[in-house]
Amino acid sequence: MKPYLTANELARLLIVDRATVTRWIKRGVISGVHRPSGTRNWRIPLSAFEGLVQHKDEGH
């Protein structure tokens, strides 16, 4: 398994729109994200996904 997710993959897992994921990235809600030069795709670390899920499970 790759060590990152794309915005589309994360959106599918969290059952939100891709635009929501992009907004979260730009607002700093999701940390550790980068965009390799020459691409338009975000690379979201799996640890960021795990943090979002844990945060959601805690009821925040």
Among all chains, which residue has been given the structure tokens 């700093």? 28
Rounded to an integer, what distance in angstroms lies between the CA atom of residue 24 and that of residue 58? 19
Tell me what the mean pLDDT of segment 37-43 comes to: 93
N-to-C CA span, the chain: 29
- Residue 28 backbone class (left: φ over 0; alpha: ψ -120 to 50; beta: rest): left
| 56 band by pLDDT with thresholds 50, 70 and 90 | low
Q: Return the pLDDT at 53.
A: 80
Among all chains, which residue has been given the structure tokens 């907004």? 23
The strand pairing partners of 43, in sequence order, are: 34
Q: Return the pLDDT at 32.
A: 94
Paired tokens of 14: 């969290």
